[in-house]
Amino acid sequence: MHETGPFSISSMRDFVPAMLRLWIIIAFVIIFQFSGGVYLATVSEMVGSLALMQEDILMAGYASLVGMGLTFAIMFRLKFRFSTKACFLICGGAIIICNLICMHTGSIPVLIATCFVACIFRMWATFECN
């Protein structure tokens, strides 16, 4: 029978305790999933706070869904091209910039394009956590 060793996450350094590694990855997934653009579940609240029409918020949410779907087509190329550290740095920086743009923009096309880009990086970071 094949012997299996203890579970390990190889992309983390050895000084991180083994019991803490899984919780760090789960925290990263939660942070990445709760950041990025517009959420369709809170359309009515966003319409009031951003002073935009409901259709504009829905369009930005649908652009987010398209961005998430597009990530599946290029994921393996990205996964094998960049290291985990580089992926987290790229995705984290891009998500921070996209969140800042989404908070401060008044232009609908800029909001839609930013939500599209933010969800590409959000799904890339989530897949990297997996």
For the chain, percent of residues with pLDDT exceeding 90: 22
* Backbone φ and ψ of 67, nearest 5°: -60, -40
pLDDT digits (tens, 9 = 90+) for 33-88: 888 777 777 777 777 766 778 888 888 888 988 988 888 888 888 888 988 889 98
pLDDT at 94 over 90: yes
Closest CA to 110 of 45, 34, 30, 50: 50
Can you state the percent helix, strand and coil of the chain, rounding each to 5? 75, 0, 25
**Do residues 38 and 115 touch, judged by C-beta distance below 8 A?**
yes
| Residue length of the chain | 130
pTM of structure: 0.80
Cα(30)–Cα(14) distance, integer angstroms: 23
The band of 113, judged by pLDDT with boundaries at 50, 70 and 90, is very high
pLDDT on residue 96 = 92
